[in-house]
Amino acid sequence: MATRKRLTDAGIARLRAGAREYTVWDTRVAGLGVRVRPSGSRTFVYHPRAADEVRKMSFGPTALRRVEDVRRDCLAAASGSVAAVETGERPLERAPLFRDFVAGPWKEACFDRCKPSTQRNFAGILKRQLLPAFGTRRLDRISRLAVMRWFETGSRTAPAGANKMLDLLSQILNHAVRCGHIATNPARGIRRNPGRRHTRFLSREEIARLHLVLDRYADGSASEAQQADIIRLLLLTGCRKNEIVRLRRKEVKGDRLELRDSKTGPRTVLLNTDAQAILMRRMAHGNGPWVFPSVQNPSRRRHDGLRLWYALRAEAGVGDVRLHDLRHTVASQATLAGVPLTVTAHLLGHSDVRMTMRYAHVGDREIEAAAERVGMAIAAMIGMEEPEATVPPSQSKRLCRSCRH
């Protein structure tokens, strides 16, 4: 049997095998059809007419192609023929190769507007992942199935890295849609790998232990002393690691840092007394452009790595704490001190207060101590003679330790 209707991906998937082979013809592109065999296989076929002659072409299994992509290929194959006239559509130009599109329109419209650090990140993903996988393909030949297989392969070894690769690919293909090279983004809607939620931060006791260990390393080698100062500044200011490691002398303005380039753009960081003392001591030595220069070559800045952190956190008994968790700690202590979220957002350099809410956690021990204080106050209000007796001895001792801070 033979029927005509507008072909869609969902409609093709619903086609069922019959006792005999049949073809469903598309109403949008003359000559395009889906052949359904008794075995259940479905294949795109194209029979354009030219000079009273019918040519026969196949575009492969329907499971591997989107019908919109096949329509484009048909119109390109029939450029100037009766097929294009019958559909009332102008034959589309061939879509560019992925590598040419990335190096041209996408680079000018998107890549060149990014911060230098973002450009370095994107360039690495393009070189190692996207260009080897899709560089030689035309944009309209990148199928959803190909993207899903590529993403699944990368997710087996580096789930978080695969998410970043998928995000960049989707951004590029979204721009291809805006440019009219493809109708839809084949990477859109693919479920990203779930990420681990990090809510770890230091308690007051852990902060005290960490400072004791930092004091010991401050008297060590030049490199150890330098790293100890950087780590202490991270905890005192809530800055991101690179904001301190790459700090320039001209960005230090007495009681503040005037950062010319942070993750969210230029920003000001107000310094407390302890942070000012560390920076004044560092500024008193050397005359190069960097606050923390390379130990081997003072004219250059030190590398970004802080290997001392791994030994330091082990000695302090906080082996599960990441360096970035020091930033969480600043937000959490601000919350405990009653600092409004909007103020904490400015302190951390967040452009959106919702990001600050992710950092502003309160530890179990602080919650437990607060609950005990509230319970004792309420007990006194309702006339209990000795509300302190309601607190078990073990909790009472723990409460005293918390109150000392």
- Residue 308 belongs to some domain of the structure: yes
The answer to whether residues 146 and 215 belong to one domain is no
Diameter of the chain by CA atoms? 107
- For residues 321 and 218, state if they share a domain: yes
397: burial class by Cβ within 10 Å (0-12, 13-18, 19+)?
exposed
Domains identified in the chain, total number: 4
- d(CA 74, CA 71) in angstroms, rounded, equals 5
Tell me, yes or no, whether 368 and 354 share the same domain: no
Looking at the structure, tell me whether residues 224 and 350 fall in a common domain. yes
Domain containing 29: what range? 2-87
Unique residue bearing structure tokens 């005359």? 287
How far are the Cα atoms of 294, 369, 386, 400 from residue 404, in angstroms, in the given order? 41, 12, 22, 6
pLDDT tens for the chain, 405 residues long, are 568 888 998 899 899 988 888 999 998 888 899 999 888 889 998 887 765 566 777 888 888 888 888 888 887 776 644 444 344 444 445 789 999 999 999 999 999 988 888 899 999 999 999 999 999 999 989 999 999 999 999 999 999 899 999 999 999 999 998 888 888 899 999 999 987 666 677 888 898 999 999 999 988 898 999 999 999 999 988 888 989 999 999 999 988 898 887 777 788 888 889 999 999 999 887 778 999 998 888 888 888 889 999 999 999 999 888 888 888 888 777 777 777 777 777 777 776 666 666 665 555 555 556 666 666 777 676 765 454 444 444 444 433 433 334
In a domain, 195, yes or no: no
**C-alpha closest to that of 66 among 152, 145, 131:** 145
Q: Is residue 75 part of a domain?
A: yes
319 assigned to some structural domain: yes
Q: How many CB atoms lie within 10 A of CB 255?
A: 12
| 15 CB-side CA count, 13 A | 30
Q: Do 301 and 393 sit in the same domain of this protein?
A: no
Q: Are residues 209 and 340 in the same domain?
A: yes
**189 in any annotated domain:** no
**Position 164 in a domain:** yes
* 263 & 383 share domain: no
Q: Answer whether residue 199 is part of any domain.
A: no
Question: Is residue 184 in a domain?
Answer: no
Q: Are residues 312 and 371 in the same domain?
A: no
Same domain, 240 and 351: yes
- 283 and 325 in a single domain? The answer is yes
Identity of the amino acid at 72? R
